[in-house]
Structure 1
Amino acid sequence: MAKHFVAGGQSLVTDSLQGLCIVNPNISLDIPSKVVHLANQDRSKVALLCGGGSGHEPSHAGFVVSYAERGRIMSTAAVCGSVFASPNASQVRRAIDLIDNDKGCAHLPVNYTGDVLNFGLAKEQYAATHPDKAGSVKFVVVGDDVAVGKTQGIIVGRRGLAGTCLVYKIAGALAARGSGLNEVYDIAQYVASRLGTIGVGLEHCHVPGTSVQPNNSLHTDEIEIGLGIHNESGNSRISPIPPLDELIPDLIKMITSTTDPEWSFVPFKNDETDRVVLLVNNLGGLSELELGVVVHETKRALVAQGISVLRVLAGTFMTSLNMPGFSLTLLLLPGTNDTNAPPLDLLLGLLDGPADAPGWKWLARMVPDRVRPIPHIKQGPRIAPPPASSRAATLRAPDVASFNASIARACNALVAAEPEITRMDSIAGDGDCGLTLKDGATGVLKALEEGNITGEDVIGSMIVVSKVAEEAMGGTSGALYSIFFSALAQALTQTSSPLATLVVWSTALQCALDRLYTYTRARPPSRTLVDPLVAFIEVLPSDPLLAALAAKEAAEKTRDLEAKAGRSAYVEGGRLKAERIPDPGAWGIRVVVDALVGGQQ
């Protein structure tokens, strides 16, 4: 499991994508942004943009295909991040530029915080620079995981798993028929709402380039249910390993449950009238021999439960690198009496339509009971922060030297706090929060030294901070910070004051928080960075020192909060409670605001 032919490194993803372009000459690769796109796009049809972290091949780049003369589309472009890391907003914006057209674009990100934030940030920035096309980008977040209960996932929602591929296929086929953006969006939303997926693995995967085995390895007689495709632990482990004819019926019940309020995600009737599409997905390391047995046992279990299977797909669609395991996806099709639902024949027709994409597997296009056994687009200019002369308003700090000193103080404090935040995140997350914040702080310090951040131009400084967060930090944290500071800059342009007074800051910060809320469902108390951020913003109008104290107290309280959002929402809560580890992101906010107002004491 720990041996690879490729050692990893910075070129791993781009080298792999170049190999894909050899397999599929109809696509091109924009190497700097790691965007795979159609070489000859039919711009008279709605474009589809998918993407996410690499390591899930053939998703997402393997589904980019379009043959205009035969009316086939799955996805028009795919933007690829590093292994298990979301692409940043600049990559997504580049993809939007590459597939720009008059019919609009549907974004289909999987429901992971980093993907949602970075696709959302790109959408917001595109709308800001192309106000005439602000409504031409639609956003469908796909989350089909049923392994995380509703209480635990109340903020973050369901993770996006292999069911996403069915959304790609159906939405793409509809776009190929010439349907408008609203219809493509509506059908994609409907399909996404009717999906349930559960995964099971014999072992976790191993990332190329890492020298140690993960500490979450399973015993030889053990399997894990509900594990994620980024090596996240599942919700239960079973030993000894049960036979498939016992395991699979239990997995199906997790998807079709309607009696348990924690696990009822899809509106099955369970009265022998349900009709489904079954997708059996190889998570990367399962043999085709075993996968065929899984298909057979799953079909038999569904029939025993009174569920009619109208289509079956099986193969490698969305992986977790080399994970030895599989996932089951059920798409609940419309019932005979369902109102406001698309016609059954339409959905099956869209699914059955041909698609010569490397990642799309063979489909029988009939009920399984009757099936026998078994040229490059020229790169445009990148979006850059507008100069002060082109903005409607300019804003200056009352004390430029104090403003600059506060920024430097906050950045240096984050750099100093990196080891402690990293220690926290090694328990409460994936261990990179401290380094991510340090990278952002270092980038801001450099911009401050170069004069790109200055109290002479507060709005421009916030724009620069947003860009630094996006490009230097990346991932979920970078997107959160970048969205917030981008929104803060927008809010600051609305003031009529020439000086950035406390009132101006307080009003703008509240506006930025409101905008951030449109991209995250985290609300205090949530054991995320919003806890101290909200506490600080609420108290700031009365007294900055009291606001910093409120933020400190809110960050401290995350020690005893149950994780409802962020990466900790997927971490087993017992260790967090036992060690009383505060949320690393919340701690970073505490460090920042404490340093910012420290000079006023």
Structure 2
Amino acid sequence: MASKHFHNDPNHLVVAALRSLTKINPSVAVDEKHKIVYLKKPKSNQVSVISGGGSGHEPAFAAYVGHGMLSGAVAGSIFASPSTVQIYQCLMRRVDNTQGVMVIVMNYTGDALHFGMAVEKCRAQGIKIDMLVVGDDVGVGRAKSGRLGRRGIAGTVLVHKIACALAATGASLDAVSNVANLVSSNLVTVGASLAHVHLPGRALARDDFNADDDIELGMGIHNEEGCRRLKTGLPGLVKEMLAQLLDTTDKDRAYVDIKPGEPTVLLINNLGGVSGLEFGCITDEVCSQLKNSYSLQPVRILTGTFMSSLNGLGFSVSLLRLVDTGLESQISMLKLLDAPAQATGWSAAVQPSTWVDKVEDRQQPNEEAIGEFQSSNLTFNTSRAIKALESGLVGLISAEPEITKYDTMVGDGDCGLCLKAGAEAVLAHIKKDRMSSDVAQFVSQIAYIVESSMDGTSGAIYAIFLNSLAYSLSLQETPTLSRVTAEVWSNALKGALKSLGKYTPAQPGDRTLVDALQPFVEKMVETQDVVMAVAAARKGCESTRGMEASLGRSVYVGGDDWKNCPDPGAAGLVEFLSGLISGL
């Protein structure tokens, strides 16, 4: 649970967040006293749709105010419903109620009571008004929720979007209300979270998420308990979530019967604290299991933060079964969902036509053709070379924790894992595939594996150097087969180092891999003795202890850790070379 915030006054946070919307969407205004965001100039002759609830669920609800979406939204304090007075002010003074008003809120007691009271007051004033309380959550089943019913969570946004798009067509209040209810009754959502959230301005409460691997299945968006806690990975969690949404044999939660192949809309909602990288993995897992386990391929997939729980470390999955709206002119749920909206919180970047068009992937080239290598007529003892190479790679893999520790101190922590990934890929290749006895081809094969498996700066440097080394070896081609010599290796290494210099300005003294690589090459050229060359590389690596960086990410690192460890890239090269000569 994150307990630090940039601003800790919850009242100021809410008003400032509402005020910010007027700066990024010129069509909306804010009534700060009553915490209402509303359209400045609503389109005439259409039903107004309003919503609202506690703050902390941004972009819901205020960021959904805009043409094609909500006419107004009323905000309460963090996780607390707005008052009847606030809501009544919105209904009577801030939205156009001449054609009627549709009120859509989530099923929480405070929201239902306060919005309901305001609705009744408006109805007594002669306003045509209707109200829908959405309950889409299946995390808490019928037995536990009882007469209170399902909670409203992220799927409510789909009800907003479709109802608002219909209102924008000029449809009657009855039509808007009927379709909103139809969407709600075909909608299911379930969420999961790794931790409770902390409210700004409140004391840190004891969190009973004691184990690092605890996952709360069905957790509500106000820190409410779900149905149970799990200890599982992402595939297991998604399997449980989809079962709660789709298993019709679970009578406690079988609210909507979605059959294989039926058209559906999938909404995967970030509760606010999941990184984009991890959220992409979640999306992929959900889509894969829907297809493989339930034969469902949604016609629209919406992902992002639609209804947060502050910075909640969790996500929810919503499924909407698309059914006939019964409206004339073939106004379908999908068409209404696709309709444009000018609300800052709504995002549907992919055009509807893109979902319909069948775009074929272009033909990819043959990977084997990419990996063809030039020969040199220079040969060597392949089995001895493989033995030495294996020794170097195993040494590098074993050194990963130490290299990672160094890079955590002076960089971004990825150097050791990057080197390990490349080493493991090369090791796997030489164990299962036949290696060429031609020296240039042998090095080219290694270079190809490195550039295919290693990313980051280290991957680029090694790939450039090895490809240049293979090319330098091929330039020394002999008319007949002959054994490669130490002199040939030395000249080729010199050429490869020169080529590398075209792509990086690194020199000894900059605290980089080059601090070990250049001494190695220079000593090989001078002595043609690989043992002496490795000793020179080790000396160059040790010289980086206490050396202030001039290039690489270490330049940006503060503190004094860099004074106590060598450059991680240089250390990795020395580990590989040391293992290499021990295997000769």
What's the RMSD between the two structures over aligned residues?
Answer: 2.0
Q: What is aligned with 1:119?
A: 115
Residue number in structure 1 paired with 2:26: 25
Change (3 A) 1:225 1:175: same
Asked if the contact 2:325–2:333 (Cα under 8 Å) also holds between the matched residues in 1, the reply is no
- 2:134 corresponding residue in structure 1: 142
Residues 301 and 12 of structure 1: CA distance in aligned 2, closer, same or farther (over 3 Å): same
Describe the shift of the 1:350–1:340 C-alpha distance in structure 2 as closer, same or farther (beyond 3 A): closer
Structure 2 letter corresponding to 1:351: L
Tell me the equivalent position of 1:484: none
| Offset from partner CA, 1:199-247 (integer Å, 9 cap, x none) | 01111111001121343334212111100000112111112x31x2332
Q: What is the one-letter code of the residue matched to 2:318?
A: T
Contact 1:33 1:94 in 2 (8 A): yes
In the other structure, the counterpart of 1:329 is 318
What one-letter code is carried by the residue in structure 1 that aligns with 2:284? Answer: H
Unaligned runs of 5+ in 2: 362-584
Aligned 8 A contact 2:69 2:342 in 1? no
The residue correspondences of 1:57-456 to structure 2 (distance < 5 A) are 57-66=58-67, 73-97=68-92, 98-128=94-124, 130=125, 132-133=126-127, 136-239=128-231, 241-242=232-233, 244-269=234-259, 272-304=260-292, 305-334=294-323, 346-364=332-350, 365=352, 366-367=354-355, 370=358
Mapped partners of 1:175, 1:302: distance in 2: 32
Measured after TM superposition, the shift of residue 342 of structure 1 is 8.8
Structure 1 residue 340: Cα displacement: 5.9
Contact 2:10-2:77 within 8 A present in 1 as well: no
Q: Is the 8 A contact 2:165 2:337 kept in 1?
A: yes
State the one-letter code of the partner of 1:331. L
CA distance in structure 1 between the partners assigned to 2:149 and 2:187 by the alignment: 13
Residues 164, 29 of structure 1: CA spacing in aligned structure 2 closer, same or farther, 3 A cutoff?
same
Relative to structure 1, the CA distance from residue 342 to residue 140 in structure 2 (aligned partners, 3 Å threshold; closer, same or farther) is farther
The alignment covers a number of residue pairs equal to 356
The answer as to 2:16 corresponding to 1:11 is: no
Sort the Cα spacing of 1:201 and 1:94 in 2 relative to 1 into closer, same or farther, 3 A.
same
The alignment partner of 1:228 has SS state of coil
TM-score scaled to structure 2, two decimals?
0.59
Shift of 1:367: 3.6
TM-score where L is the length of structure 1? 0.57
Deviations 1:404-455 (A, max 9, x none): xxxxxxxxxxxxxxxxxxxxxxxxxxxxxxxxxxxxxxxxxxxxxxxxxxxx
Matching residue's letter, 1:88: S
Q: 1:323 to 1:265 in 2, by over 3 A?
A: same
The answer to whether the 8 Å contact 1:204/1:218 transfers is: no
1:235-274 alpha-carbon deviations (Å, 9 max, x no partner): 11112x31x23321221111112112111111223xx232
1:199 alignment partner, SS class: strand
Contact kept, 8 Å, 2:270 with 2:307, in 1: the verdict is: yes
SS at 1:314 equivalent: strand
Shift of the alpha carbon at 1:170? Answer: 0.5
From the superposition, tell whether residues 167 and 339 of structure 1 become closer, same or farther in structure 2 (CA, over 3 Å).
closer
Distance 1:127 1:150 in 2: 32
Change (3 A) 1:302 1:349: same
Amino acid at match of 2:81: S
Local SS of the residue matching 1:154: helix
SS at the partner of 1:57? coil
Q: Provide the C-alpha distance between the structure 2 equivalents of 1:196 and 1:117, rounded to a whole number of angstroms.
A: 23
CA-to-aligned-CA distance 1:433-483 (integer Å, 9 cap, x gap): xxxxxxxxxxxxxxxxxxxxxxxxxxxxxxxxxxxxxxxxxxxxxxxxxxx
User: Partner of 2:44 in structure 1?
Assistant: 43
In structure 2, the CA distance between the partners of 1:21 and 1:264, relative to structure 1 (3 Å rule), is same
- Using the alignment, how far apart are the partners of 2:360 and 2:342 within structure 1? 23
User: 1:372 and 1:170 mapped to 2: Cα distance?
Assistant: 31
On the 8 A contact 2:60/2:306 being kept in 1, the answer is: yes
Q: Is the 8 A contact 1:49 1:76 kept in 2?
A: yes
Structure 1 gaps, min length 5: 67-72, 374-601
CA contact (8 A) 2:29 2:37 kept: yes
**Alpha carbons of 1:86 and 1:173: their partners in 2 closer, same or farther (altered >3 Å)?**
same
Given the superposition, is the C-alpha separation of residues 192 and 309 from structure 1 closer, same or farther in structure 2, using an over 3 Å criterion? same
* Mean Cα deviation higher: 207-216 or 40-49: 207-216
TM-aligned CA distance change 1:75 to 1:301, over 3 Å: same
CA distance in structure 1 between the aligned counterparts of 2:360 and 2:245, rounded to whole angstroms: 27
Residues 255 and 127 from structure 1, CA distance in 2 versus in 1: closer, same or farther, beyond 3 angstroms?
A: same
| Partner-residue secondary structure (3-state), 1:309 | coil
Cα distance change, pair 117–343 in 1 and its aligned pair in 2 (3 A): farther
Letter in 1 for 2:303: A
Deviation, 1:9, is: 3.5
Distance change >3 Å, CA 368–CA 329, structure 1 → 2: farther
Contact persistence 2:287–2:297 (CA under 8 A): no
Task: Find the aligned partners of 1:40 and 1:345 in 2 and give their Cα distance.
Answer: 26
Give 1:339 shift. Answer: 9.5
Q: 1:213 to 1:371 in 2, by over 3 A?
A: farther
Separation in structure 1 between the aligned mates of residue 359 and residue 139 of structure 2, nearest angstrom = 31
Whether contact under 8 Å (1:257, 1:268) holds in the other structure is no
Distance of 1:141 and 1:259 partners within structure 2: 26
Change (3 A) 1:116 1:2: same
Inter-CA distance 202–369: structure 2 relative to 1 (3 Å threshold): farther
Deviation at 1:153, TM superposition (A): 1.1
Which letter does structure 2 place at the counterpart of 1:164? T
Tell me which structure has the larger Cα radius of gyration: 2
The answer for the alignment partner of 1:490 in structure 2 is: none
Residues 202/117 of structure 1: CA separation in 2 closer, same or farther (3 Å cut) = same
Distance 2:297 2:201 in 1: 45
**2:140 alignment partner AA:** V
Aligned partners of 2:195 and 2:139: how far apart in 1? 17
Distance of aligned partners of 1:351 and 1:220 in 2 relative to their CA distance in 1, 3 Å threshold: same
2:63 is paired with a residue whose SS is helix
2:142 partner SS: coil
Summarize the alignment of residues 445-524 of structure 1 with structure 2, pairs less than 5 Å apart.
none
Shift of 1:370: 4.8
C-alpha distance in 2 between matches for 1:342 and 1:143: 28
**Larger relative contact order, structure 1 or 2 (CA cutoff 8 Å, min sep 6):** 1
In 2, Cα distance between the equivalents of 1:107 and 1:119? Answer: 8
Q: Any idea what the Cα deviations from partners look like across 1:24-51, whole Å, max 9, x if unmatched?
A: 1211111111000001112311100110
Residues 257 and 363 of structure 1: CA distance in aligned 2, closer, same or farther (over 3 Å): farther
Task: Report the residue type matching 2:217 in the other structure.
Answer: I
